[in-house]
Structure 1
Amino acid sequence: MTPKLIIFDLDGTLVDAVPAVTEAANRVRARKSLADVDPGFVRKVMGNPDDYGGETALLVGPSAGGKERRDALMLFGRNLDVVFTDFARPYPGVEEGLKLLQRQGIKLAIVANRITLFLHQWVEWLGWASYIQCIVGVDMVAHPPPAPNAIEYVLRFLEVSPAEACLVADGGPELSAGIQYGIRTIQATYGYADPLPHLTGITRFEELSGIVFAS
């Protein structure tokens, strides 16, 4: 069955944000006189954040306390918003793919562990505001991904049942949220995480329409 709704992660699925995250992290690290973080390490953390203790692993030293980590995350978020439009770029085929899905009457949404206001601003900058009908960030639910609350929020808001929905994400928290909620989950293996053999995967965004319309 062709889904009525597709929920996307942002980083690693629609947009390659590694350069932006690297720049934002290094601005935080510079204030602490820490050496620049390597983009390869950034990619690993973004693909499997739980393995590294989250994005704070990019920002502070291992001995940092809770307050220092929280402050670093707040500063990182502000810096990421500033540098996103200069450093982040959509993956090939995303613009055309979103247009195609919308023309077929499929509702589109974004769930991501970023501040919702920033997500809206970035979607506007990318020129996708007319495609995306719902955006849920980390601050809109009590328990963000890997908990399924954000998925549930989108389905209720857009009045779609779990059987009629599909999630596309590259790895980590968002994939776990989709699996927990029981909706069809597709991995964008071109993103940051290692491929999961038990999930259907796409190696480039253009492959998504073939899977969606063949179902």
Structure 2
Amino acid sequence: MATLIFDLDGTLIDSAPDIHAASNTVLVEEGLPPMALPEVRSFIGRGVPHLVACLLTAAGQDPAGPRHARLVARFTDIYEDAVGLTVPYPGVVAALEALAAEGHGLGICTNKPLVPAQAVLRHLDLARFFTVVTGGDSHPLKKPDPAPLLATRDALGGNPDLYIGDSEVDAECAHRAGLTFLLFTEGYRKAPVETLPHAAAFRDFAELPALVARMLAPAAG
């Protein structure tokens, strides 16, 4: 059996619509213009402070100015309940059920703050699959630093380990942590697939259980 660690936003769930709505709420409250979904989606992946800095930069404001802390606090407050527009990607539930039935240890390492991560997992009935959830504020460092991913692995106590994610941040984090990386190609990735270090890529979660079995086969032999 193996330890399988997943990213959350853009990997298991499409949360961009809720993040977009929360972003526009804080922007409009500040008297700033709202932004389109594709632009906000491009800011996702490095945590709330980074997202807010990108929002301010795109709005022509100082990302390090006094508005930043205020918007981070307001966004975080909204974000804790921002679940209504978020959905799992097709095939996620069936894949997680199959992997859990095979006895794999499942965890999450995300840059999403822990409370919103847990809230959306409960809302979508996904929390039942994961024994460890590491949020973006669970550790002093965020991905792509490998520390939170390694801490998640250690908490799960499994070996060998696979990390499943969708982005440049995830690919770099897995590489720096020395974990085998599986790339979900339909998330929030901005760079071409071939430019990201990965052991295998997939576009449909129906493929994942068999892919995991193939990746683990050498270790089991």
For structure 2, the 5+ residue unaligned runs are 216-221
Matched, 1:80 2:62: no
2:60 and 2:38 mapped to 1: Cα distance? Answer: 19
Equivalent residues of 1:108, 1:133 under 8 A apart: yes
1:138 and 1:147 mapped to 2: Cα distance? Answer: 11
Please give the root-mean-square deviation of Cα atoms over the aligned residues, in Å.
1.9
For structure 1, the 5+ residue unaligned runs are none
Corresponding position of 2:55 = 58
Matched, 1:172 2:171: no
> How far did 1:59 drift?
4.9
Equivalent residues of 2:185, 2:203 under 8 A apart: yes
- TM alignment of 1:113-124, pairs within 5 A: 113-124=111-122
Deviations, residues 40-77 of structure 1 (Å, cap 9, x unaligned)? 11222226x59xx9312125633323431122122112
Percent identity over paired residues = 24
Equivalent residues of 1:151, 1:177 under 8 A apart: yes
Deviations, residues 180-205 of structure 1 (Å, cap 9, x unaligned)? 00000011110011343142211122
Read off the aligned partner of 1:180 and give its amino acid letter: R
Corresponding position of 1:191 = 187
2:171 and 2:60 mapped to 1: Cα distance? Answer: 27
Equivalent residues of 1:195, 1:201 under 8 A apart: no
2:38 and 2:128 mapped to 1: Cα distance? Answer: 33
Q: Compute the TM-score of the two structures, normalised by the length of structure 2.
A: 0.87
2:174 aligned counterpart, secondary structure: helix
> How far did 1:166 drift?
0.4
Corresponding position of 2:129 = 131
Equivalent residues of 1:59, 1:72 under 8 A apart: no
Q: Compute the TM-score of the two structures, normalised by the length of structure 1.
A: 0.89
1:54 and 1:173 mapped to 2: Cα distance? Answer: 13
1:117 and 1:82 mapped to 2: Cα distance? Answer: 9
Read off the aligned partner of 1:148 and give its amino acid letter: P
Matched, 1:30 2:43: no
Corresponding position of 2:104 = 106
Equivalent residues of 1:59, 1:73 under 8 A apart: no
Read off the aligned partner of 1:10 and give its amino acid letter: L
1:113 aligned counterpart, secondary structure: coil
